[in-house]
Amino acid sequence: MILERTVHSVLPSFKNARKQELLEHVEAHIDEQDRWRRINHAYYDSDHKFMQFLIPPGKRVLELGCGRGDLLAAVQPSFGVGVDFSSSMVAKAKAMHPHLQFILGDAEEQATLASIEGPFDYIVIADTIGMFENIDDTLRMAHHLSAPSTRIIISYYSHLWEPILKLGELLRLKSRQPKINYIATADFLNLMDLADFEVVRQEQRQLLPRHLFGLGPFVNRFIAPLPGIRHLCLRTYIIGRPVRRFPDRNFSVSIIIPCRNETGNIENAILRMPKFGARQEILFVEGNSSDNTFAECERVRDAYKDTWNIKVMKQDGRGKGDAVRKGFAAATCDVLIILDADLTMPPEALPKYHAVIETGKAEFVNGTRLIYPMEEEAMRPLNLIANRFFAYLFSYLVSTRLTDTLCGTKALMRKDYEVLARERNYFGNFDPFGDFDLIFGAAKQNLKIVETPVHYKARTFGETQISRFRDGWLLLKMVWFAYRKLKAV
């Protein structure tokens, strides 16, 4: 809700000479905006499309420095608020987008932000942060408008493009820009750190911000996001989250154990399981085994019913991914953790995963087997090489360093998984492993992803169910799939 009586009294004072010059420039050139947007429609279309990728429709969105509100309208918020210091811009925004709310005020003033009631799902600062006088102070003031799940998105021009943009102004290919600060990404990261925001991911877009008979959109979609080349792009997008720690949170935990032909490991999973969390439940999801794994799951459930809350179910489809989705759908606790039934990842390490989520250090935890030395025969040499290769590719695709994407142990909040499941149609049911459905979904949601190292053990019962060459080919196809869905957008 907006406090209307406060909003109308919050007017920019502009004691700062530079800010007054910026305001005068905006007011003097407002009538030219329609013409420049038609000339450079390819640039604006690409920017809006990528923002729509970052911000799903139906969210609560606040934009600081909203101009005439076109970007805010493009992301289709359920509740959208724009702030701008130009009365002419605000008047035009209200006329063009009457379903949104617009506030006349200085986004760097405490009184302006205090007049707005949060929290918002997304706070957007697009192309205006270079005009701010005190970037870190302004970001710090935005904390009261954010929840732990809020994402702040800052988009700006690369400092490498400053001479090109100046030349474009001289050639009258773009509108004349007021004097702004072209800030390097490393400096932005430092300013966000000072303001207690941490970066979740960063992306670069638009190598050719013109249409050029379709060449520009093709280059910007498929060529511009490539490693190395992307650093030459015009646009940088930083996605961050507020830094909050919750030492006193006490979350319950659901442990999902997909199992197929793992009879000898079922009871050990229970015997070795530590007690942690406010409440625990263990869900065995049996995958139509050729041995008596399902019967063993039921026996163990009944034998330990006095000390453990154990559920046993049989999956309907095939593959670990199907088993994980069935287990997650049946889970009732706050935190969801996957434990592979082969127990090569020690169950004793699960409290570490839970603690990372519980304290707020991250929102998605991926295990990695490639930090500590592993037992002999725990992983075949060819598998190790393939794991490192695919880890590099997937790290690039999700804009987060990952060393072991195929480690089966993963943890996230159930509420975040429910959002992932609702938005699964963006990717579709593509993942037989169950790992990448979660990793890609977490990346699409801009969740904070971290890795937790584990001591990888050799199997003591059964055989691996991974086919190196068949599954390797599936992974290669998944790389191309993820590139189209996460980069070429």
Domain boundaries, the chain: 4-242, 253-487
pLDDT at 278: 96
CATH architecture of 4-242: 3-Layer(aba) Sandwich (3.40)
Checking if the pLDDT of 442 tops 90, the result is yes
Mean pLDDT confidence for 375-388: 65
User: Does residue 8 register a pLDDT over 60?
Assistant: no
Give dist(CA 105, CA 100) in Å, integer: 16
Task: Give the architecture (CATH level 2) of 253-487.
Answer: Alpha-Beta Complex (3.90)
How far apart, in whole angstroms, are the C-alpha atoms of residue 433 and residue 293?
A: 20
Look at strands 253-259 and 235-242 and give their pairing. unpaired
Phi, psi of 483 (to 5 degrees): -60, -45
Q: Is the pLDDT of residue 265 over 70?
A: yes
Sheet holding 146-157, edge to edge: 101-104, 79-84, 60-64, 120-126, 146-157, 235-242, 197-205
Q: Give the pLDDT band of residue 375 (cuts 50, 70, 90).
A: low
Instruction: Note if the pTM is more than 0.85.
Output: yes
Q: Which of 248-252, 381-385, 439-443 has the lowest mean pLDDT?
A: 381-385
Mean pLDDT, rounded, of the chain:
88
The pair of structure tokens assigned to 200 is: 């979740």
pLDDT per position as a tens digit, 294-327: 999 999 999 999 999 999 999 988 888 899 999 9
* Percent of the chain whose predicted confidence (pLDDT) is above 90: 58
Of 34-43, 253-262, 374-383, 420-429, the range with the lowest mean pLDDT is 374-383
- 327 CB-near residues (< 8 Å, 6+ apart): 254, 256, 257, 258, 283, 285, 313, 338
User: What is the per-residue pLDDT for 11?
Assistant: 42
**Cα 204 to Cα 257: distance, rounded to the nearest angstrom:** 39
Which of 43, 487, 445, 68 minimizes the C-alpha distance to 235? 43
pLDDT in tens, 201-237: 999 999 999 999 999 999 999 999 999 999 999 999 9
Residue 147 has pLDDT above 70, yes or no: yes
Report the candidate in 45, 43, 52, 148 with the shortest Cα–Cα distance to residue 426: 52
Mean predicted confidence (pLDDT) in 472-484: 82
- Stretch 126-152: mean pLDDT: 90
Q: What is the pLDDT of residue 334?
A: 97
Q: Which two tokens stand for residue 344?
A: 């090569």
| 85 burial type by CB count under 10 A (0-12 exposed, 13-18 middle, 19+ buried) | buried
